[in-house]
Amino acid sequence: MPISYKVVPKKKTVSSEDRKVVTRMFLMFGGIGVLLILFYLWFFVATANINNFWGLFRGHQDEASASSWINNTALATPTLADVPEAINKKSFNLKGYAEPGLKANLFVNEIDKTQTVVDNTGTFSFDDISLESGSITVYVKVKNDTDKESGPSKAYTITYDDKAPKLDVKKPQDGDKFIDPSPFYTVEGSVNEDATIYVNDHVASLDYDKNFRLVVSVKEEDNFLKIKAVDKAGNETVVELKLVYEKP
């Protein structure tokens, strides 16, 4: 009878040293994993904090830049409006325009006389400015809250004048008779200063020598003429006369 053999593999046993090595490796890789997770979390938190920090820094820089831009930007020059060349009163008012909210300073003969605030419509005014004789020069500057000052507005010279102009009507004389086929008469005269001349509310122009001529239409019989000279300060002189017109 044949004899058979069965080979049985020898069972491998794990020694205590092998177990220790495996345990160490597990603990090492586990620790590394935990450290990686902690580093990952720390990295994003730290990055966010750094961004916030630089954001704050940049915010301060932006504010500083804006403030620097505002401080270094020139203020717009104010404008005075409707300034008279001459006045016949002892006080007058001035108005002008500038950026709303700024402080407007009035300079009279280079002296800072008074201050007002530009309203929300961009308008400012100075009231009861004294001028009793001679003339003055005025201009305006504006300031912001940091006392940064603009350049001066255009300067104006204002003269006090309470004397009426001298009006000399050469033609016609009061009561003159005008006989002509044409119903048109030339009024002539002169004045001693720059003035506006009215003949019955029609304006006559002055020449270089301050003479004036104006043709008016007349009707038969009596014509009443009112000739008025008004100077730059508002003083006026009036001459009223009668002209009789007849056809030949």
- Who wins on pLDDT, 40 or 11? 40
| Arithmetic mean of pLDDT, 24-35 | 72
Average pLDDT of the chain to the nearest whole number: 85
Residue from 165, 168, 158, 167 nearest 136 by CA: 158
Query: Which stretch of DSSP H or E encloses residue 212?
Result: strand 211-217
Evaluate if residue 66 carries a pLDDT over 50: no
Domain ranges of the chain: 18-73, 79-160, 167-246
N- to C-terminal Cα separation, the chain: 185
Does the domain at 167-246 match CATH 2.60.40.10? Answer given as yes
Residue from 199, 203, 202 nearest 171 by CA: 199
Evaluate if residue 52 carries a pLDDT over 80: no
How far does Cα 213 stand from its chain's mean position? 44
Evaluate if residue 211 carries a pLDDT over 70: yes
Note the pTM of the prediction, 2 decimals: 0.65
**Residue 11 DSSP code:** P
Evaluate if residue 232 carries a pLDDT over 90: yes
Domains 79-160 and 167-246 share a fold: yes
SS3 for 123? strand
How far does Cα 65 stand from its chain's mean position? 24
State in words which class domain 79-160 has: mainly beta
∠ CA 135-136-138, nearest 5°, is 150
| Arithmetic mean of pLDDT, 115-134 | 95
| Arithmetic mean of pLDDT, 69-78 | 75
Q: What's the pLDDT at 191?
A: 98
Q: pLDDT tens for residues 7-25?
A: 555 555 556 666 666 677 7
